[in-house]
Structure 1
Amino acid sequence: MVFYCQRNCYDEEYETKVVSCQAAKLDQVVGGKKHKVECFEVTFEDTVLFPEGGGQPDDHGSVNDAMVLRVIRRGGEAVHYLDKNIEVGSQVKQVVDWTRRHDHMQHHSSQHLITAVADNKYNYATTSWYLGDSICYIEMDTPQIKPEEMKVIEDEVNQKIRNCTPVNITEYDAQDPQLREVRTRGLPDDVVGPVRVVTIEGVESNMCCGTHVRNLADLQAIKLTHTEKGKGNKTLLYFLAGSRVIHYLTECLSRERQLTTLLHTNPSDHIRLVEKNQKDLKACQKSVKDSMKDIACLEVEKFKMQNVQEKSTLFVHHRRDGDLEYLGAIINELNDETILKLLTVGEEKGSGSLVLHGPQELVSALGPKLCEILDGRGGGKNRFNAKVNKISKRGDAENYVRAYLADKRSES
C-alpha cells in the first residue's frame, strides 16, 4: 500500500478514520536505557505520518490530543503507537511534526543525489545509509574516498541544487518491466501494492518508500563533512543538508567567537596559538612530573631521617595532588620490602587512590579491609592498588593498620 504521506509529502495535516485500537507496550529508550511504555496500537484508513522504512526514521506528531510515539509498517498497514486511547470509528486529525519530517525529506533526497553522483562519477555503489538526529552517512562499497573526489561530488550535487532540478515520484505495478531499469537495493518481502520510483530529473531513478522534496532547490545546500573506515573494506561518507548545514555553521561560528575571546586573537591565528599552548602545556606537565618525583624523594628522605631513632616498619603518607606515578616513585625510592607503606592520594572531600605495599602477608590481610573503610575496590599481593570513594576516612584506615600491627607484635 502507498500511504497518503508518500503521495503528499508536503502535507502536514490529514483527517481520517480510526480502524483499530488496542492496548500495547512499546520499547522506548529513556536516558540510554530501554523501557517498556504502556501505549495504544492504532491503525487508520490512511495516514499522513510516515512509518519507518527505507533507511528513513518514522514521523512524530499527534492524533487529536494523543502524542505519536512511533509509526511502523506491518505489511500493507501503518501501525501507530499513541500515548492515549482513541475511539474506533471516530474521525481524527493527524498532525505531523513538520520540522522533523522536512529534515528527513531533505536528507533522504540528498542521499539519493549523493549516491547517484558518486556512482556515476566513480562507480562507488551505495550499500546502506543512516539518518540520525545529528549525523547522517552513506556506506559506499570502496575502501576510500579521496578528498579531491569528495570535492567533485560536493560541487556537482550543489550544482544540481542551484539548477532547481525537479524530483518526481511515480507509482508502478510490481510486475511493470520498466522497473528493471530502475536503481534498487531490493524491496522488503512483505511490500504490497504499487512500487514507488523517485526520479531526480537527468540524474537517476530509484525505488524508494520514503518522503522526498519535490525540487532539489528545497535542499538548500549539501556539505560532505568527512569519511570513516567502515566494515568489510567499505567507507562511510558523512553529510549534512538543508537546515542542518545552517545549524552546523551557526555552532561553528559560536565556537569560533568563543575561541577568539579565549585566545585574544583573530580566527586565522587560532590553530597556531592552540598548537603553541599544547606545546607549552606539555613542557609544564613534564616539569610538574619531575617536581613530583623530587617531592617523593624528599618525603622518603624525611621518613628515613625520622626512622633512625623510631625504627618504624610503617610509612603512612597522603598527598592531595598526587597520582599513582607519584606513589610509585615513593615505593621505588624507599626500596624496602620490609616496610609497610600506606599511601593515598586525592582531594579531602572526594575519591582517590590507595596503594598498600610491603610484606605480602600484611598486604593481603589489610587490603580488603582498607577498601571497606575507604569505600573502594582493588587487589594485589605485595602491592595492593585500589580506587576509593572516601579518602577523608584515611585516618580510620591508618588507625586500623596500626592496631593490626600492634596485635601482631603482641602475639609474637
Structure 2
Amino acid sequence: MKPQILTTLPNYTAQGFFSDVVAGVTVAMVAIPLSIAIAIASGAAPATGLVTAIVAGFLISLLGGSRVQIGGPTGAFIVVVYGVIAEHGFDGLLLATLMAGGLLVIAALLRAGRLVAYIPEPVINGFTVGIAIIIGTSQLKDLFGIDSQTLPADFIAKIEVLWAARATADWSSLALGVFTIAAATILRRAFPRFPGLILAVAAASALVPVLGLHADTIQSRFGGISAALPAPSLPDASLPRIIELIPSALVIAFLAAVESLLSAIVADRMIGGRHRPDAELLAQGTANMASALFGGLPATGAIARTATNVRAGGRTPVAGMVHAVTVLVIVLAAGPLAGYLAMPSLAGLLVLTAWNMSEPHRFLENMGTRASDRFLFLLTMSLTVLADLTVAIAVGVAVGLALRTERKNIPPSDWTPPER
C-alpha cells in the first residue's frame, strides 16, 4: 500500500514539477465551479464542495495509489448526499462520511482493492445513467428559473411539481444556462487543455448585472462564501445514530471505492501506468474521514478531472496536490467573489455533467448487448431513478453476480467509465 508519491519523487525533475504545476492549476479552474455546483445540488452549502476539493483532494493525491488521480466531490454522490441530508441532516452526512472513510480503510487493510473487477459492467452503467437522469431533472428548477417549493426527492413527485409550476419559468434564466452549456462545450472542443468551464460560468454570471437580469446567484440564495477553511470538529455521534447511518455509510463507501478505482483504471490507460488499488482505497478512506472532520462532502476519484489533469501534462501526485492548494489559495484570496455566480449557469454546468455521465452515444450499444446484460442495465437504471440507489446497487450486484456465475469463462469487456 505504498503511495505513488514515494515512488515518483526520487526521480523528480524541475521540468516535471513545472508540468505538474501547470496541470494542477488547470484542474483547479475546472474543480472550483464543479465543486460549488455539486455541493448545491447535493443540498449542502456551496462552500462544502470547495472544502472537499481542498482537504480530500490533497490527501487523495498525497496518499493515493494512482500517479495522476484527482479527488474531490463528484456527481455520482449527489443523489446519495441529498438523500442523507434530507433524512438525517448535514450532521448525519458528516457522521456517515466519517464512517464510510473508516470502512474504506478497513477494506484497504483487507486487500479488497481488486474486488471492483467483479462488479458487472451493466450494473455500473445502469446506476450511472440513472444518477445522470436524477441530476439532470434536479437542475431543471434553476435552469428554467422556476419559482416553486423545494423539489421532493422522489422522481415522479419532482416532475409533477416542476410541471405544475411551469408557468413561472424565466426564459432569461434558461438563456443563461444554455449559454453556459454552449460556451463550455465549444471551449472544451476548441481548446481541450484550457479551463473552459470556469470561463463559461463566469461569463454567464457576468451577464446578470450587465443586462440587469433577475436570476438568482449564490449570494442571493445562500449568502457569501467565507474566505477561510472551517476548523476541524467531530460530528455528534451516539450508538443509535451510528446504527441508523450504517446503510448510508455503506453506500458512500461503495461508491467511493468503485469511482476511485475505475478512475484509476482510466488514468492507467491514458499514461500507460499501473495503480495500486489498496493504496488508493486507503487514501480514499483517509480523505473522506478528513473531509468529514472539516465539514466537507464525500469524495472520490473524479474521472473527468483526472483526464483533464493528464491532458494538461500532469504525471505525478504533485499535480493533484497543486490542484488542492490552488483551490485553497483562490478561496482565501477571492472566496466571496464566488457569491456572484448565477444559479442558472451552475445548473447548466450540472446538466452538461449529467449529459456526459449518461453517454447517450452509447445507449444503442447498451441496448445491443446480450439480453441478460440489457435487462441488468435497465433494471439498475430504473431502480436508481424510481426507487433508491441502495436498492439499485444491492439488487443489481446480486442479480449481476448470479448471471455471471451462469456465464463462466466469459472474459470481461474493455469498459471505459463515463465522465463524472
TM-score interval, smaller chain: under 0.3
Return the index of the structure with the highest Cα Rg. 1
Larger RCO: Structure 1 or Structure 2 (Cα < 8 Å, ≥ 6 residues apart)? 2
What TM-score comes out, normalization by structure 1 length? Answer: 0.19
